[in-house]
Amino acid sequence: MKLPRVLIVEDESAIAELVAVNLRHNGFAPIWAESGDAAQRELDAVLPDVILLDWMLPGHSGVALARKWRSDPRTKAVPILMLTARSDEPDKVAGLDAGADDYITKPFSAQELLARIRAVLRRRAPEQVTDSVTIGALVLDAATHRVSFNGQQLKMGPTEFKLLHYFMKHSERVHSRAQLLDKVWGDHVFIEERTVDVHVKRLREALSGAGSMIETVRGAGYRLTAQAQAAA
């Protein structure tokens, strides 16, 4: 399993080291950048799963960096957790306005920091924290992007994978096309509901023997059920 990468942007080495040690001991891969420029080089090379961004940095303010990364298509989806020594409300609001997902006020406990990191990961990238889902003989591993049925690897496109992941996490429930568009495709309002049917068809084909687990519920939508598998 790939460890979630956490980019620590912090000029104070004592704080950065303490945070890095705690992250390493708790299943994360920390990378330290001591300035905005160093952080930018890291981001250009490999995208992290979370950025821990100090408010006060030499050269750039954390808020300016948050705003810049949020407006860059490459980094805009990476969760940003701001570290701030200031506790007054206007600054927190400025950080959140700039696109930070959350903030944490120094001094903070390691447990609090880990909880906040897990929370932003869960919100922004749920596949990072829930690694695999199993329904009957169907297994989806989100960390490796693999799906298998009866131990046999199945190949599918990225949209079918996301759709299956959503179905498996919410199995036995009926989802309307509009709900699926909202949850799986996100805010792309220009996609027609018929698109869902196209991808469900492709997903069934990709699932082959397990295809019957995706049921059409007339007039309502689709559901993934473990029952059909037993009958098939």
Residues that bind Ca ion (CB under 5 A): 11, 54, 56
Question: Which of residues 29 and 56 has its CB atom nearest to Ca ion in the complex?
Answer: 56
Work out the angle at residue 121's Cα, subtended by the Cα atoms of residues 120 and 127, and round it to the nearest 5 degrees. Answer: 150
Please, which residue, 91 or 182, has the CB nearer to Ca ion? 91
Between helices 158-169 and 194-207, what is the axis angle to 10°? Answer: 90
Q: Which residue is nearest to Ca ion (CB)?
A: 56
Closest to Ca ion by CB, 86 vs 183, is: 86
State the nearest-atom distance from the C-beta of 177 to Ca ion, in Å.
Answer: 48
- Smallest gap from Cβ 175 to Ca ion, in A, equals 46
Q: How far is the CB of 30 from Ca ion (least distance, A)?
A: 17
Nearest approach in angstroms of CB 59 to Ca ion is 11
Q: Tell me the C-alpha distance between 51 and 19, whole Å.
A: 12
Min dist. Cβ of residue 45 to Ca ion (A): 23
With respect to Ca ion, which residue has the nearer C-beta, 83 or 147? 83
CB-wise, 103 or 167, nearer to Ca ion? 103
